Amino acid sequence: MIAALPFVLNVAVAATPSDDPRSVVRVHDTSTCPFLLTHEGRTFGDPFPTYWDGVWHLYTLSADLRQVFHFTSKDLVKWAEHKPAMVGTGIATGSVVRRDGKYYLFYTDAGPQTIRLVVSDNPWQFDFKKSRLVAQADNKVYQLHKKKFRDCYVFFNDVERRWWMLIEATSDDKVAVGLFTSEDLLSWEQRDPIFKDGSRAHASCPQVFEYDGIWYLAIQDMGNWYYSAPTPRGPWTSRGQYLSLVVEAASRFASDGTRQLTWGWLCDWIAKPKPKALSYGGPLSVGREIVFNADGSMGVRPFPELLDAIRTMPGQGDLLAVARKLSGEWQVDAGKQTLKCTTDRGGAIVLDLPGESPDYYFEADLELDSPNAAVNVIVRSSVTAERGYGVALSPADKKIAIHRLAAGGERHLLNDKPYGYPDKNTVSLQIFVCDDHLEAFLDGRECLSAQVVDRSEHRLAIEITSGSGTIRKPFLHHFRSGSGSAATVKAKRPNR
């Protein structure tokens, strides 16, 4: 890989709409704008993706719960936006499955908190007027007074040879994942919950899947949490969070039989005094592929297809040529594509990027020479790196964090989480920053996200502290600015 700086941008091309429900409204290229919005700049609610016949189908709610948007892709880079798959009112989280040439869209009726179904002969168009009631709380096993009977997920359970429907529910006054089963997708029988936890506030958007003999349950509850078990009925062991607070409803996965892919929507939120999302809906996050560690724990990485597309974009320039020392001693080696800080106490360097675009992708391998050394990669950096947003990597503290940097050396924590740094000396870092959001991926297994609303600066800086270190194969690619998230209308957040 050659360190480079692209100057030529590709723009999504609108297609001519027609009466065909498969018609394409617009093609979205995530290598030029990574966070997905509709062609009108509208925000999304919960996604529920699926996969058929070599095509990824990304269904996702509108933030006002009136539409089910529909995108398709074969390469996971360019996404065709189709006409909404369904239009109505109170359409909340569900799932779409296929059986014998028919397509079944299950969804939550947001008002009464019941589960409804629309059957279609194609995956492009579902008639809201033909919906039918298929499941509701009985107020015995599942109590509706807690306002939780929603977020249905339907799949065929190969172990039991029956269709399963999972539902976020309340049972025995505890948060639960309820279960209904069916032989034909039309008639459903109520079963006992597969999961109950009195310590949880929510078990939103539940899904289970099996990998390498282990069953996984993923839910949304102020962050995305997961559990593992020997069977799809449990007993479930908590494994912690796999995504940060800013990413909502990324507990729905699509699979082609070999990999699990997921998206969430990026929310407006506050960190103090208590984390809280301020509104419902946002752009979709960078798509993630789940990776599994030797101990069965889950991690995430960006789609390799997206990274390959970004790395091969045309019109690239020399990134190392715009490097400028701020402090410490640095060696720039164009042949090896390295920036090396040789000072034991560390130093800082700024990349004076051409143009004024604050939206870009950056990646590098960071090698530290001391166990106490740490790295701060500052995006949207000012000339002196005093202002911007810092992605802080601290192997000694086993933590990653994102701060907003202000004049006078102030640091305002936006998000953080523990990370074990399996390779203590080297970290592989990938950063997506575009419009109002930043997502940082580490070592192809960890991710942290935050809001980054200040677009007044456009440089990138790297600071190494408490030791020396080397930045290997730095690469930067500018995104197309203004995907629309800064101007979108947010919906009132549903009661949670």
Amino acid 62: pLDDT:
96
Burial 141-165 (b: 16+ CB within 10 A, else e): bbbbebebbbbbbbbeeeeeeebbb
The stretch 120-139 carries a mean pLDDT of: 97
Q: Return phi, psi of residue 304, to 5°.
A: -55, -35
pLDDT band at 273 (very low <50, low <70, confident <90, very high): low
Amino acid 245: pLDDT:
78
Using CB atoms within 10 Å of the CB of residue 110, give its burial: 0 to 12 exposed, 13 to 18 middle, 19+ buried.
middle
Hey, which residues does 121 pair with through a beta bridge? none
CATH homologous superfamily, domain 21-306: Glycosyl hydrolase domain; family 43 (2.115.10.20)
Distance CA 202, CA 169 (A): 9
List C-alpha distances in Å: 254 to 47, 85, 208, 257, 288: 10, 18, 11, 9, 11
Q: Both tokens of residue 78?
A: 């360019």
Rounded to two decimals, the pTM is 0.91
pLDDT per position as a tens digit, 46-103? 999 999 999 999 999 999 999 999 999 999 999 999 999 999 999 999 999 999 999 9
pLDDT per position as a tens digit, 214-271? 999 999 998 899 999 999 999 999 999 988 778 999 999 999 999 999 999 998 866 5
pLDDT per position as a tens digit, 463-486? 999 999 999 999 999 998 654 433
> Strand 91-99's sheet: what is its strand order?
91-99, 102-109, 114-120, 132-135
CB 117 within 8 A of CB 186: yes
Amino acid 316: pLDDT:
65
| Shared fold status for 21-306 and 316-478 | no
CATH homologous superfamily, domain 316-478: Exo-inulinase; domain 1 (2.60.120.560)
The stretch 366-392 carries a mean pLDDT of: 96
- Give yes or no for residue 276 having a pLDDT over 80: no
Distance CA 349, CA 363 (A): 15
Domain ranges of the chain: 21-306, 316-478
pLDDT per position as a tens digit, 313-341? 876 678 899 999 999 999 999 999 999 99
CB 189 within 8 A of CB 153: no
Q: Both tokens of residue 106?
A: 């299950």
pLDDT band at 282 (very low <50, low <70, confident <90, very high): very high
- Let me know how long the chain is: 496
Distance CA 104, CA 157 (A): 16
The stretch 99-115 carries a mean pLDDT of: 97
Average pLDDT over the chain, rounded to an integer? 90
Distance CA 47, CA 93 (A): 8
Amino acid 11: pLDDT:
34
Distance CA 400, CA 397 (A): 9
Distance CA 103, CA 122 (A): 6
